[in-house]
Each structure stands twice: as C-alpha cells, then as structure tokens.
Amino acid sequence: MPGGRRPRVSFERRREQILAAALKEFSHKGLHGGSTVNIAKAVEISHPNLFRVFSTKKELFIAVLEQTFETIAQEMLVPGEAAERDPLQTMADAWGSLMERRELMLILLQGYAACEDPDIRDLMHRWTQDVFERLEVLPEVGTDPAHDFFAAGMLYMVAASMDLPARAEHDEWAKRFLDSGS
C-alpha cells in the first residue's frame, strides 16, 4: 500500500473486531484480569483509540456480555419459542451447539463472577430472569421444568468451561457425566 497505510475500517466493523478480541480476553481472564492493552493489540489499534469506541473497560465487558446474550437468544431461545413441539428439546439441542463455543460459556461464568459490581449484578439478574421467564411461559413447561432446564444448562455450562466435551473421548467419567440426565 502506498505510504504503508492500512485501509480505513468502519466504526461498526472496528466495534465488532474489538468485541471479538474482548470476548477472547475477558472470557479467559475476567473483568479485572482482562487487559484492554491486549485487546487493543489484538485489533491493531492504539489503546486510546479503543477507548474512543468503548469509554471504559466495564462498558466493554458489559457489551461483550450483551452480545453473548443476543447470541443465546437468537440461537437457542427464539428457535425454542418457535418450535411447534418440544421447545425444551429444541433449546437443549441449541445449547449443546452453543457449548461447543467454549468462550461463550466462559464469559457467562465471568459475568456471574463479576457480580460484586452492582451494574453487572443487575445485568446478570435481568438476563437470568429473562431467560427463565421465557422458558417458564412456554406451552406445557411451567416453573418446575423451566427451573430444571435452566439448572441443567448451568451445569453443562460449567462442564463446557472445564472442556469436558473435548475430554469425553478419552475420559470415561467426563463421558458419563455429559451423558447423564439425557
């Protein structure tokens, strides 16, 4: 390129790049351990430019959580709500696919771990309530089955964080654990 300049990236594209790098950083290191310097380096922008897109580290962390919530809604909740039969099975199948994206599971755990911050605690509360209530009102589901489904989903989220699906091929306990209850 003339003068060694890179092509300009749109604000929206840059925002997407930052969120992808932040998911990787925060999912493994959490809100307090994650580094905005590392995120800026991963996206090849200056640290000050990162803060032109997201004003604070916490704002960026929250944006990553909100993006994760949207992914879960679109890939699990919406198809389950649209299912003509057995919506919980449709959602369980979708959750199984989401579990394969380990960083999504890790960022949810990091969101719950960061609940000492009142803004994050309120965000996690609202999201958890929303998911639970969306399950609860499904035809032929109700409160107890919604609770059981949500609890099993949390258990499998923890299993994904330990990378049990990858270990199950060579670890009989991991295989039994993942297959139990199904």
What is the pLDDT confidence band of residue 9, given thresholds at 50, 70 and 90?
A: confident
Chain centroid offset of residue 13 CA? 20
Distant-in-sequence contacts of 101-104, Cβ < 8 A, 24+ apart: 102/27, 102/160, 102/161, 102/163, 103/23, 103/24, 103/27, 103/28, 104/23, 104/27, 104/68, 104/71, 104/72
Question: Nearest CA to 60 among 3, 92, 107, 5?
Answer: 107
**Assigned fold of 2-179:** Tetracycline Repressor; domain 2 (1.10.357)
Q: Which amino acid is at 140?
A: E
What is the pLDDT confidence band of residue 91, given thresholds at 50, 70 and 90?
A: very high
Quote the pTM value: 0.90
Query: What residue spans define the domains of the chain?
Result: 2-179
Which secondary structure element, helix H or strand E, spans residue 72, and what is its range?
helix 57-72
Residue 7 has pLDDT above 90, yes or no: no
Q: What is the pLDDT of residues 157-171, one digit of tens each?
A: 999 899 988 899 999
Q: What is the pLDDT of residues 33-89, one digit of tens each?
A: 999 999 999 999 999 999 999 999 999 999 999 999 999 999 999 999 999 999 999
